[in-house]
Each structure stands twice: as C-alpha cells, then as structure tokens.
Amino acid sequence: MIQEGERLILVSATREYYVSAGEGTLSTDLGILKLDTLVGAAYGDVVATHLGTEFVIRRPRATDFFTHAARTGAPMLPKDIGMVIAYTGMNSRDTVLDAGTGSGIAAIYFGGVAGHVVSCEVRPEFAKKAEKNIRDAGLDNVEVRACDVLEVEGEFDVVHLDLGITPAHIAHARTLLRSGGYLACYTPFIEQMMQAYDEASRLFSEVHTYECMEREMTRSARGTRPSTRVGHSGYITIARG
C-alpha cells in the first residue's frame, strides 16, 4: 500500500511523471490528477486524470532516480556505476564508502546492492539535496555525511572515489580497506586517470583501468543504426588491497 509522501512514477502511453503521493495535483495537458488519490493504492494500479488519461503507478528504481531526481551536477552514468559494482563484486555483505556524493545517484545504486553505504560530500548544500534523494529512494542503509573523505575512519570492503582525486585520497583509501577489498576511482580525463593509476600502483597489488564505451541503437522506419551520441564518459580505475 502506497504511503503519503512516497515517491512514485506515473506512466501513460506517451509520458511519465515523478511525483509524491499526498497533497497537491499533477497538472498537465493530459489532464489534472489529485495526488492524494495515490495514497492507499498499489503498484500497478491505474489512475486517470479528469480528462480520462490513464497512468500506471510504478515504484521508482535506481534508473528512475537517475532520470528524475534533483541534481547538483552531472552524475556518473549507469554504465560506469555498473562497472564499479561488477569489478568490485559489491554485494549485500559489503560496507561501502562512497566519496563525492553529488546528487546521490551512485549511492542510490550502491544502496540497492550493498549492506551499508556511507557517502561523503564536502559541500553541505549538496549533501542535503543528496540525502533527500536517497530518502526518496526509500533506502535506510545509506548514510550521508557532510565531510571530507580524508576525515573518515573505519573499515570498508569497497571505497569509491568520484572527486578531484589526489595522492592523499589514494593513500587514505588504502588505510580504510579491509584485506582483499577494492578501491574504485572514477576520473573523466586521462591525466586524472594516470595520476590515480600511478599512485594506486605504488600501494595496491592489483590495478586495472577500464573505459566503457556505450552505443544506443536507434531504430526507425528507414532502418537500424548506432546512435550518434558520444559513448565516452570517464575511466574506472580498480585497485585491490
């Protein structure tokens, strides 16, 4: 049963909307829908606007938060987040440190996989917005801290860095990792990747860097071909302690 304040996706044949169940209305050219009618409904139920346009109620997944959640900058793409999860073997037994929270999108993905996630954001205003996104995702295993990752103490199975990485960040991450744990660094430029790789090579036994090139396929009446959108977004450096 859907609770008041719960985030939902409403999907019609042509549109989708990111809403909260409860007070207010969704007003579109497809009609007006009172959002309090969503309270007590179930996922998969169909609701209609005053013009009769039908919407299916969906529970948001991480992919929906990537698309709809409030942003404080450009988040990592799902393909890159997926590489971090895959190459670190992130799982429900893991405690993960995510540094450079931003909008909290990566933390939302990690929270759906790991047992516990601590996400650090040095800018308090960004941390506040990220925390709201994470609460909207219904995750109680993700903790947001407004702090510098260099101040963090403890033991982690995975440390993920998505920030301006310096040698100090790599060295500190090494002290936080449990034996056999993984460091994952996201860097958008080759020069940053080289610095992360070289410093990690001094401190870790296994270091690898990957670039995931993604091409969406476009299909039309004329035929099918790769999209012309750029497939590069950044580099993922994985190091194992």
- Which residues of the chain does CATH 3.10.330.20 include? 7-58
pLDDT in tens, 153-173: 999 999 999 999 999 999 999
Q: How many CB atoms lie within 10 A of CB 86?
A: 13
How much is the pLDDT for 125? 95
How much is the pLDDT for 73? 84
- State both tokens at 186: 């996201």
User: Exposed, middle or buried: residue 131 (CB in 10 Å: 0-12, 13-18, 19+)?
Assistant: buried
- Candidates 92, 124, 119, 90; CA nearest to 106 is 119
Q: What is the mean pLDDT of each run of 10 residues along the chain (241 residues)?
A: 95 94 94 95 95 96 94 91 98 98 97 98 96 96 97 97 96 97 97 97 96 90 87 94 85
How far, in Å, CA of 162 to CA of 189, rounded?
12
Instruction: Go through the chain and tell me how many residues it has.
Output: 241
Q: How many CB atoms lie within 10 A of CB 59?
A: 14
How far, in Å, CA of 111 to CA of 91, rounded?
10
How much is the pLDDT for 66? 95
- State both tokens at 29: 């050219």
E-only strand ranges, the chain: 7-11, 16-20, 25-28, 31-34, 46-48, 54-58, 95-99, 116-120, 142-145, 156-161, 177-187, 206-210, 217-219, 224-226, 235-240
CATH of 64-240, one of 3.40.50.150, 3.40.50.300, 3.40.50.1820, 3.30.470.20: 3.40.50.150
For 89, the 3-state DSSP assignment is coil
pLDDT in tens, 77-98: 999 999 999 999 999 999 999 9
- Which residues of the chain does CATH 3.40.50.150 include? 64-240
**Spatial contact of 47 and 57, defined as CB atoms under 8 Å apart:** yes
Q: What is the pTM of this model?
A: 0.92
Sequence letter at residue 169: H
Measure the CA dihedral 142/145/148/151, to 10°. Answer: -90
- Candidates 188, 118, 122; CA nearest to 150 is 122
Domain 7-58 has CATH 3.10.330.20: yes
What does 198-231 look like in DSSP terms, one character per residue? Answer: HHHHHH-SEEEEE------EEE-SS-EEE--S--
